[in-house]
């Protein structure tokens, strides 16, 4: 299994500089010990945004949006790695540091 490695350049200096969904994604991964499946993240964010049990189509659209936008952004910022084969996100050392600094 191969994780895509971030380029490690640029990026935010604090969690507050991230967009709302990027922050939610990063927090969910952190809350799950630094590694979490994207499906689980999408379900969690969809539940929070809909204040309850979200429509499955909404969760699927959110998953697609997260995959295309937020995951790419966080990988490029060097905060997470993403494994396509498993659909899992993993915090990098930089991501862990950013989360603990904003704690």
Considering the domain 15-97 in this protein, what is its CATH number?
1.10.10.10
Q: Is 35 helix (H, G, I), strand (E, B) or coil?
A: strand
Strand pairing report for 88-91 and 80-83: antiparallel
4 has pLDDT over 90: no
Contact assessment for residue 94 and residue 8, using Cβ atoms and an 8 Å cutoff: yes
> What pLDDT sits at residue 18?
59
The predicted pLDDT at position 84 comes to 92
Q: Which tokens hold the place of 18? A: 């991230």
Q: Provide the token pair at 11.
A: 């990026």
Six token digits for residue 5: 């490695």
| 9-62 residue pLDDT tens | 445 444 444 578 888 899 999 999 999 999 999 999 898 888 878 889 989 999
The more confident residue out of 54 and 66 is 66
Please report the pLDDT score of residue 15 as a whole number: 46
- Radius of gyration of the CA atoms of the chain, in A: 13
- 73 is written with which tokens? 């952004």
């Amino acid at each position: 299994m191969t994780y895509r490695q971030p380029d490690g350049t640029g990026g935010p200096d604090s969690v507050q500089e991230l967009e709302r969904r990027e922050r939610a994604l990063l927090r969910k991964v952190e809350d799950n010990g630094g590694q979490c499946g994207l499906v689980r993240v999408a379900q969690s964010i969809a539940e929070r945004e809909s204040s309850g049990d979200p429509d499955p189509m909404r969760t699927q659209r959110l998953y697609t949006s997260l995959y295309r936008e937020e995951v790419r952004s966080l990988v490029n910022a060097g905060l997470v790695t993403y494994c396509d084969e498993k659909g899992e996100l993993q915090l990098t050392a930089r991501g862990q540091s950013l989360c603990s600094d904003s704690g």
